[in-house]
Amino acid sequence: MTSTYPAYLIFIGPPGAGKGTQAAMLEKELGLKQVSSGDLFRENLKNQTELGLLAKSYIDRGELVPDGVTISMVQDRMQRPDCARGAILDGFPRTLEQASALDGMLAGQGSRIALVPVLTVDDDALIARLTGRRVCRNCGATYHVVFNPPRVESVCDACGGELYQRSDDSLETVRNRLYVYYKQTSPLIGYYYAKDLTTFIDGSQAIEVVRQALLDAIQTVLHGK
Ligand code: AP5
Ligand code: MG
Ligand code: ZN
């Protein structure tokens, strides 16, 4: 019998769909590390690396960072020991070229993608979510001023860190990120649908309801229950 692990999940959805919120909540429960390409770029930027500075010029315009550097950054991260059991990929792949590089990498190690949950949310709701999002400068936890507020304004519940607004969460950049998503990333839904890997989840429901729907779909694939 082939083993379920390593298990790779790919969370697809437009900016603001809840990929990061859900991946962070599910990583402990599933024992699968969240690997967010956006978070990796922001970490590089915080550390003022060459990659971080390059990425910033794209992120601030809401454009995708070039495939070459993105693919090698995520592949390096996936080789670390905390991904030995698999990972929840959040924000990667985002182009057909990235998807095909991931296929090549997984084939090389004899593993495959277990499931591709697609989170669907209307554009109007996405814009409200992104423009009200706040993120902890210290631990990266995500909040929303209305939908998921911290107990104390501007202070992280988890670590007491300061909350800030991402530079790409301005209305103008959000609009371009949505455009880029529909043009460059949404074709991946067809790519994975054709491989019978997608499951569609209504991401406009409450955070806890989405969490349960994701968990049920993932557990069914991983453990047949
Ligand atoms: P990235 O950081 O991946 O941003 P994104 O895809 O635009 O997605 P977001 O993080 O904005 O949304 P999310 O789905 O994680 O939503 P969240 O859970 O935070 O990428 C940033 C940039 O990096 C890109 O634009 C690009 O430049 C570059 N990049 C990254 N990966 C790349 C790649 N592979 N290739 C090339 N370039 C790449 O939720 C959003 C808000 O809504 C929060 O405030 C949250 O509290 C709230 N919320 C969540 N769920 C709910 C709910 N159910 N109800 C109400 N509110 C909710
Ligand atoms: Mg995110
Ligand atoms: Zn924090």
Can you tell me the distance from the alpha carbon of 116 to that of 198, in angstroms, rounded to the nearest whole number? 5
Q: Mean pLDDT score of the chain, rounded to an integer?
A: 96
| Predicted pLDDT of residue 11 | 98
3-state SS track over the chain: CCCCCCEEEEEECCCCCCHHHHHHHHHHHHCCEEEEHHHHHHHHHHCCCHHHHHHHHHHCCCCCCCHHHHHHHHHHHHCCHHHCCEEEEECCCCCHHHHHHHHHHHHHCCCEEEEEEEEECCHHHHHHHHHCEEEECCCCCEEECCCECCCCCCECCCCCCEEECCHHHCHHHHHHHHHHHHHHHCHHHHHHHCCCCEEEEECCCCHHHHHHHHHHHHHHHHHCC
Please, which pLDDT band fits residue 217 given cuts at 50, 70 and 90? Answer: very high
Please, which pLDDT band fits residue 4 given cuts at 50, 70 and 90? Answer: confident
Determine the average pLDDT of the residues in 23-42.
Answer: 96
Q: Which of 10, 12, 21 has the most ligand 1 atoms within 8 A of CB, as the residue to mutate?
A: 21
Can you tell me the distance from the alpha carbon of 103 to that of 97, in angstroms, rounded to the nearest whole number? 10
Tokens of 204: 């406009």
Mind listing the pLDDT tens digit for each residue in 161-192?
Answer: 999 999 999 999 999 999 999 999 999 999 99
Mind listing the pLDDT tens digit for each residue in 89-112?
Answer: 999 999 999 999 999 999 999 999
pTM: 0.96
Mind listing the pLDDT tens digit for each residue in 126-156?
Answer: 999 999 999 999 999 999 999 999 999 999 9
Task: Take atom 17 of ligand 1 and give the residue whose Cα is closest.
Answer: 18
Is it the case that residue 213 has pLDDT exceeding 50? yes
Q: Is the CB of 77 under 6 A from ligand 1?
A: no
Q: Is the CB of 140 under 6 A from ligand 1?
A: no
Task: Take atom 7 of ligand 1 and give the residue whose Cα is closest.
Answer: 15
